[in-house]
Amino acid sequence: MGSTRVERPALTRPVGPRRATSESIGIWIALGSFLVGMAIGVVRLWGRGSGLFGADSIGEVAALTSAGLSALIFAVLYVVIERRPTHTWRKKLRLPFRILDGVGLTFTHGAIALFVMITLFWIFDHAFIALTLDPWAGGTIIGVASAIATYLTAASAVSMSTRSVSGVLAVFMASGVLSSMLFSSDPAWWQLYFSALGAATDFSGVAFNFTLIAGGLVITTLASYLTHDLSRWAGRLDIDPWRIRVIWWAFIVLGLLLTLVGLLPVNNYFVAHNLVAYSMAGLFIVLVIGLPFLLPEFPRTFALFSWGIAVSVGLSFVMYYFVHYLNLTAFELITVAVVFGWLIVFVRNVDAIASDRERDRTGASPLAG
């Protein structure tokens, strides 16, 4: 009795360097960054004992060195990655958009290293009170900080995708806003409104406004990745391209409005700042409510989630404006958290449906690659 041979679909793997190769590159980058960071630290701290936090401290040098090296590493790797076969779709974008994407992501990765290192060394300084280290010990710590920052930056750069860009955006916004809160010169800022953080002229104000400006640029970058994945999915369902274009424009405008909020501090441009902020909030609500109608083929669970998000924002407004249970800062923080929560879930859904469609087309196993 003959046996029937079942043909199995060939497994497909992503085009580009293997993960092991990427990890090896990251390790070499980290090693080089350790040596450079240690050398900078020893020279900068030479001839004196240094504390962990404050002016001319180990933490300050570590934060600045990590930020500079991370930005440099990302910029170099980004140019290389843009030439990958998996990123040929980006060559269809206009050159100004591609340059803007690269600049925004480069500054964002550098700023993440800066904000995270400053916050960590502030914590360490409170844990090891009055600790003073010599230049060699301080330089070693700076080298380790630089190595960790550049290793993570390299890992992020070689895996740029819709999901990873959204993750970078979330980490950047969280670290930037948290740093601004921690180092605010006005301990009572929260009694006013969220934007009061950007009214300060010290590090807190600069960090807050820069976070909004760069965050807006990253959202415009995310728009390109999102619409690319959506187009891959929609093209196989005969969905009108104009629907994807509307979503692209919505994210572009959201990003530009967020950048304008940072460029127009509330203390200098009160009316313009609030007008832009409320316009951004209004556009977001329209996008959340309208997305299920623009993409009716999108998972129904996400549509229910989106409407739930809109309702939660509305309830928060009622609790602030009518019930007076929340102050303005609490309402704004809840709204910001809800916005980025929705954005992350949306990105994950887009990434999932695009991957499912690609796997269905190629017949690849979900465990492949």
Q: Per the structure block, which two tokens stand in for 87?
A: 């990123």
32 half-sphere exposure, CB direction, 13 A CA radius: 13
Cα–Cα dist 169/165, whole Å: 6
Averaged pLDDT for residues 99-124:
93
| SS3 label, residue 20 | helix
- The size of the chain, in residues, is 369
pLDDT at position 111 over 80: yes
Check: CB of residue 229 under 8 Å from CB of residue 162: yes
Sign of CA dihedral 236, 237, 242, 244: negative
Reported as a single tens digit per residue, the pLDDT across 128-161 is 998 999 999 999 999 999 999 999 999 999 888 8
| SS3 label, residue 368 | coil
Q: Per the structure block, which two tokens stand in for 71?
A: 């930005």
117: confidence class by pLDDT, cuts 50, 70, 90 = very high
Domain boundaries, the chain: 19-160, 162-361
Of 342, 216, 190, the C-alpha closest to 277 is 216
Check: CB of residue 297 under 8 Å from CB of residue 237: yes
Cα–Cα dist 314/336, whole Å: 13
Reported as a single tens digit per residue, the pLDDT across 240-257 is 888 889 999 999 999 999
What pLDDT score does 137 carry? 96
pLDDT at position 75 over 70: yes
Check: CB of residue 197 under 8 Å from CB of residue 180: yes
DSSP assignment of 218-256: HHHHHHHHHHHHHHHHHHTTT--HHHHHHHHHHHHHHHH
The angle subtended at Cα 152 by Cα 147 and Cα 157, nearest 5°, is 125
What pLDDT score does 129 carry? 92
The more confidently predicted of residues 25 and 86 is 25
Reported as a single tens digit per residue, the pLDDT across 268-299 is 888 898 899 888 888 988 988 888 888 888 88
What pLDDT score does 237 carry? 67
pLDDT at position 238 over 80: no
What pLDDT score does 3 carry? 45
pLDDT at position 1 over 50: no
pLDDT at position 361 over 90: no
pTM of structure: 0.84
What pLDDT score does 360 carry? 59
Reported as a single tens digit per residue, the pLDDT across 5-34 is 444 444 344 444 566 777 888 899 999 999
Check: CB of residue 261 under 8 Å from CB of residue 277: yes
Averaged pLDDT for residues 208-233:
88
What pLDDT score does 4 carry? 44
What pLDDT score does 9 carry? 41
- For residue 86, what is the DSSP state? G
Reported as a single tens digit per residue, the pLDDT across 292-347 is 888 888 888 988 998 888 888 889 889 988 998 988 888 888 888 888 889 888 98
Residue holding tokens 């010599």?
A: 134
What pLDDT score does 278 carry? 86
Please name the residues in contact with 98: beta carbons below 8 A apart, sequence gap of 6 or more.
Answer: 82, 90
Cα–Cα dist 352/229, whole Å: 9
